[in-house]
Structure formats: C-alpha cells, structure tokens
Structure 1
C-alpha cells in the first residue's frame, strides 16, 4: 500500500472527479460534511471519527485511516481510544470470517446432498 500512497500528490487526481462528475462530487462532499458535522448530531464527532477509523481499518482504506485518525485526534480522541477502535475493527472483521466460514459448511452440505441424487 505504501508504494502508491502519496498523501500530498494523490489529491491532485480529484481533478478527474471535478471535470467529469462535478455534480456527484459536490453531492458526496455535502453528504460527508453532514455526516461529520461538528454539531447537531446525536453521536459526538469524536466517536463518529473513531467509527470511521474502525471502518477504514476494516475496509483497509489507507486514505480513510489517515484522514479520520487525524480528525479523531483533532476531535479529542486518545491513543487508547484509537487502539480500542482498531481492536473493534479487528474483532468485527474476524467475526465476518467466522460467519462466512459457516456459509462454507452450509454450501458444502448442500453440495453433498445435491451430489447424492
């Protein structure tokens, strides 16, 4: 990931969105601004940013991890809170593997039954 992640220069490629789909980019920016508004939400901004960090870790989006970690710290998150968010993400991702493993067993059973006929 580090081979192609360039915090400073990657942003220049936003120009493609600006030139090709400016309406969608504007709608996305407005949506993002609403989700991460400093005031007027039930979940405090620090916790929304910690959720975003955890989701970024789970989806392995280095841009989300970078940006939302910085924003979480700015909103008052501690290293301990970031660590717990990372562990929450890890647990959920592992739980997904566990749950999908059960599907493999289910599909295996279905395949075995289908081949018996």
Structure 2
C-alpha cells in the first residue's frame, strides 16, 4: 500500500488531517489534498476559484475586516470538495485558525458575515 492509499485509509477510519499530517510529516493541508484526490488539474481549477473569491471579498477577512493580499479561502461547511462560491469566504490566518479551533462548536451568530443566521 502506498502513502496516498494509507492516508485515505486513515482518513476513512476517522483520523483528522492534522493527525495524518503528523504521522507522515506533511502539512494538514497536504494530507487533506491527498485524501480528497487533488491533482494538478484540480489545483489549477482551485487556484482560479481561490483568486475569484479573494477578489469578490476585496482581499478582506470576512471576520475581522483585515485587508491584505495573503488570505486563505475557507470552506464554510468544512467540506473541502464543496467549492461552490457561496460556500467559500476569505479569512486571515488568525481568524481561520480561531474558527477551526472551534470546529463542531462554532457559535454561528458571532459570524454573521459568514453564516446566514
């Protein structure tokens, strides 16, 4: 079994991307990419979507309002394959980390710019 197959197997068993990343000494993002089958074509498509979302959100974090070029595009429903534009939002690194630290217990009323409440 190769590394990619092992990563997919571990994810199917319920391990988090962070845990898988630590096992294989890769970032959690790379573990996620492997688990959901990201390839070079998908990367090109994702890069276009990401750029479109950043432009749409005026390069502004949708939580704190911080404006900068280096932003991440967050999946609101946390499903990495759901790349519908209404499921994507720009966040700064700090807000993105904070939001993911609350995973499963996010008070959506605190983030009206992201979640329709």
TM score, norm. by length of structure 1: 0.31
Normalized per residue, the structure richer in strand is 2
Higher Rg: 1
